[in-house]
Structures are given as C-alpha cells and as structure tokens.
C-alpha cells in the first residue's frame, strides 16, 4: 500500500486495522486516560495501524458488498479492540475494588476523590493503590506488552473473522472471577486486622458500657487501617506484579476464543 495511493480494497483493509487499534487505545490503561490528549491517541493509533497493516495486506479477505457490510465489519473490529483493552484493564479494576472495600471498613466510604483518568469519583485508598499499580505497570514495561498484544491479535484474529462464542463468554466470566479473587488477595490482610479491631471494640462496648466506643473506635480504625496499608505495600506490589506477569496468558487465551 503506497501512502495516499491505494485501492478501495486496500483502504477497507486499513480501516479494519485502524478501528481495532483505535478502539484499543480508547480504553487501554495509560493510553486510554482522559489526560492523554485525543490527537495523540489518534496519532498513535494511526501510526501503529500503518505499521501493522502489512500483517494483513496479503490475507485473502472477502471484500464488503456495501455500506452495511462494512459497518458491521468495522463494528466487529472495534469490539475486538475494546475486548482486549478490557482484559488489560482488569488488573486495575481489582485494585480499585480492593481499595474501595478497605475504605468502607476504615470509615472512609464517603471520602472520595476524582480519578483523573476516568474523571469519576473513587475512594481515596482505591485511587492511591491505583496510582501505585500504574507505576508498577510502567516499571515492568507492561505498556509495551499491551501494544504488542494488539499487533499480535492480527495473527490470531483475522479481520472479518471475529467469532464471539460461548467459549469467549466463559473466558470473560473467568476473568471477572479472577478480578474479585485478586481484589480479595489485596484487601484480605487489612480487612482481617480491621475485623479483629471491630470485634475487640464490640467486646469493650459490652464490658465497659460507660466508654463511648464510637469516639474511640473511629480514629482507631482509621489509624490502624493507614498503618496496615503502609505495611502491606510490599505484598501489594508482589500481587500486582504477579498479575501483570500473567497478563500475556489472559490476552492470548482471550484471543484464541475470538
């Protein structure tokens, strides 16, 4: 394909690549952030599409018969890109779920901040852990892995051959389940200590009715919760690192079901 000089069939093939890559960049971590300028997203998607196009230029793909066919095929490519980006984002979803649960137990359930990536309200601990997870993600060069995965997808999922089956749905549900398991792993040490404190305060309230447990318990849970968050940061980093190392397995497994 010569730039600015290609046939209708070549242009259709390029659109398939661009829509898949573009949808991927809209939702994938880091690149999908609201702080990442839209022109830069489009530029990166266009550049990566031009570099990826030779992978499918020689494939015997059927040509669309009209505008409706082309729209359906482009929608399918967009869905493939969003699905792969969604699988990559599951790590950060688990981190935010864990942070939200911890905040609720600490008494910070109503203390929210604005997440600059999504411009939505999240709990303060969830945002702190999410930023830490992003730093680990970048330190491990996992963003290179995500870009490689969208390029590799054209080797496993040819354009116009997207097939959303029961196996795909089952694999996505398995990823959902794994997300909650990871969230429990992250929050469990902190939740266990806070639960013991709640039990202890309940026993104190029964044995010493004169003591105002709410006045004592509220700052105690906050203080212990913050200390436990600090003490478990090494463990948190190990869990996130393990999940990032397993990301290729999840992405390849998902692509094989499509």
The predicted structure's pLDDT at residue 63: 66
Say whether pLDDT at 27 is over 90.
no
The predicted structure's pLDDT at residue 75: 87
Exposed (0-12), middle (13-18) or buried (19+): which is 158, by Cβ within 10 Å? middle
pLDDT tens column, 143-152: 888 888 888 8
Q: What whole-number distance in Å separates Cα of residue 211 and Cα of residue 216?
A: 8
Determine, yes or no, domain membership for 3: no
pLDDT tens column, 61-112: 666 666 777 788 888 888 888 888 888 888 898 999 999 899 888 877 777 7
Say whether pLDDT at 2 is over 60.
no
Say whether pLDDT at 1 is over 70.
no
* Residue 15: domain span: 8-257
Determine, yes or no, domain membership for 2: no
Determine, yes or no, domain membership for 244: yes
Determine, yes or no, domain membership for 1: no
Determine, yes or no, domain membership for 225: yes
pTM value is 0.83
State how far Cα 45 lies from the chain centre: 19
Q: Average pLDDT of the chain?
A: 83
CB 203 within 8 A of CB 176: no
The predicted structure's pLDDT at residue 167: 84
pLDDT tens column, 223-254: 888 899 999 999 999 999 999 888 888 888 88
Determine, yes or no, domain membership for 70: yes
Q: Looking at the 3D structure of the chain, how many domains does it have?
A: 1
The predicted structure's pLDDT at residue 231: 92
């Amino acid at each position: 394909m010569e730039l600015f000089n290609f046939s209708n069939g070549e242009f259709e093939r390029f659109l398939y690549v661009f829509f898949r890559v573009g949808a991927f960049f809209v939702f994938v971590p880091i690149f999908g952030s609201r702080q990442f300028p839209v022109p830069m997203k489009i530029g990166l998607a266009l550049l990566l599409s031009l570099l990826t196009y030779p992978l499918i230029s020689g494939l015997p793909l059927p040509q669309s018969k009209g505008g409706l066919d082309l729209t359906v095929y482009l929608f399918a490519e967009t869905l493939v890109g969003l699905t792969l980006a969604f699988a990559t984002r599951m790590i950060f979803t688990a981190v935010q779920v864990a942070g939200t649960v911890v905040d609720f137990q600490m008494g910070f359930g109503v203390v929210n901040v604005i997440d600059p990536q999504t411009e939505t309200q999240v709990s303060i601990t969830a945002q702190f852990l999410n930023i830490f997870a992003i730093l680990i993600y970048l330190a491990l060069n996992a963003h290179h892995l995500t870009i490689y995965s969208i390029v590799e997808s054209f080797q496993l999922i040819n354009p116009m051959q997207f097939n959303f089956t029961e196996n795909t749905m089952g694999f996505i549900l398995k990823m959902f389940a794994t997300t909650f398991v990871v969230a429990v792993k992250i929050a469990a040490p902190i939740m266990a200590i806070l639960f013991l404190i709640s039990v202890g305060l309940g026993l104190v309230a029964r044995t010493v009715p004169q003591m105002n447990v709410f006045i004592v318990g509220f700052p105690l849970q906050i203080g212990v919760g913050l200390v436990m968050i600090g003490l478990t940061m090494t463990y948190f980093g190990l869990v996130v690192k393990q999940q990032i190392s397993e990301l290729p397995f999840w992405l390849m497994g998902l692509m094989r079901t499509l």
